[in-house]
Amino acid sequence: MKSDERKSKKIFSRMITLVCLAVFIYSSYELTSILLEYYHNRKVLAEAQELFYHADSDERDEKQMRKAFYELQAINEDIIGWVTIEGTKIDYPVLQADDNKYYLDRNYKREHSRAGSIFMDYRNDYEMMQDKNIILYGHRMKDDTMFNQLKRYVDKEFFDSHPIVLFDTLYDRFDAEIFSVYRTTTDFDYIKTDFESDEEFQEFLDIIQEKSLHQSDVRVTKDDQILTLSTCDYMLDPDKGRLVVHAKLVERKS
């Protein structure tokens, strides 16, 4: 009987070992796949940066489109802008599709990617740029890419020392002056693009300034336009939580 018990224990022990080994192999495979995808994403984005900064950003064609976007547009006509925050890794092309889902899991080459792209809300008109609220979305990737580093604006010192978002479209250049950062959930409609009146927009501005974790000297009125940067945040809710940064759009003259 004791011999049978020893044999059963040995078989059970081997099964546990095999299960652990299988879990280890699977976990290693998954981790390697994720790391390789992170590497590919950074490589692809570096290629976009090379194309964007290699061109003369001020030269324009007969339609007034900036030639900095020529080669990027040849790759994908959905590339409609560029967003940069100095002192962070945020330095990316901005895409726009017919909905807010397509570029959640595709890069600017339309390849499937868990990092997705930075993309503009499909309701915004990047050519006319007349919407009161221009919205950009991006994932919060664990390798600090995409919009992950927006989390640094929770820190007051960083908020004060990095007040500008450089936002370029095919036709215009903006210095967006940051005036509000806060955590919220999707229950709050911070991605509203249409306002029925100036008064409604002013009320919206008042609310998002009140929500801010930090006070800002930037003065924003109903006559202004704002840029909204949105990414996930898990403090308030694991699914509906968001971190939001708002900035006042000011056209760059030089």
Which residues participate in catalysis according to the annotation? 232
Instruction: Provide the total of helices (H) and of strands (E) in the chain, helices listed first.
Output: 4, 8
CA distance to 169, 204, 236, 250, per residue, from 183 (Å):
27, 16, 7, 25
Instruction: Find out whether 136 and 120 touch, Cβ atoms under 8 Å.
Output: yes
For residue 96, give the nearest of 134, 151, 148, 153 by alpha carbon: 134
Using CA atoms, how far apart are residues 85 and 253, in angstroms rounded to an integer? 18
Distance CA 80, CA 212 (A): 29
What is the spatial distance between Cα 176 and Cα 174, in angstroms, rounded to a whole number? 6
Strand partners, 146: 140
CA separation for the pair 138, 243 (Å, rounded): 11
Bridge partners of 136, per DSSP, are 120, 229
Which residue is associated with the tokens 């945040």?
233
Question: Which residues are 168's β-sheet partners?
Answer: 82, 173
